[in-house]
Amino acid sequence: DGGITQSPKYLFRKEGQNVTLSCEQNLNHDAMYWYRQDPGQGLRLIYYSQIVNDFQKGDIAEGYSVSREKKESFPLTVTSAQKNPTAFYLCASSWTGSGYGNQPQHFGDGTRLSIL
């Protein structure tokens, strides 16, 4: 089945530790995104990438980093600089249409990150 795989489903981070969240897609989509969702809130864009080896900051990029070395993969690193990392992290992908946002986004099942 085609889709987006995020791992792990649950992740615990110690203070001062960097952690990396995995996101892999086999939909052959060009664009990939990372969102953060806090309880009872909407989706806030962290980073997005429309092509391999290129990515842009979203609205809340501070304390996060990404890479896009392969079309299928878009890992997110939550660094120790992110002071409040506890949240639900969602990865998504889409075709790139006539402009960013014109194509529906397909989401993975998410990773729940907590601080120990």
Which residues of the chain form contacts with other proteins (CB under 8 A)? 35, 40-45, 48, 58, 90, 92, 99-102, 104-110
Instruction: Please report how many Cα atoms fall inside a 13 Å half-sphere around the Cα of residue 60, on the Cβ side.
Output: 17
40: left (phi over 0), alpha (psi -120 to 50) or beta: left
Strands 64-66 and 76-78: antiparallel
CB-nearer residue toward other proteins: 85 or 108: 108
Q: In the complex, what is the shortest distance from the CB of residue 41 to other proteins, in angstroms, rounded to a whole number?
A: 6
Q: In the complex, what is the shortest distance from the CB of residue 9 to other proteins, in angstroms, rounded to a whole number?
A: 11
Strands 4-7 and 19-25: antiparallel
CB-nearer residue toward other proteins: 11 or 80: 11
Cis peptide before 8 (omega within 30 of 0): yes
CB-nearer residue toward other proteins: 87 or 92: 92
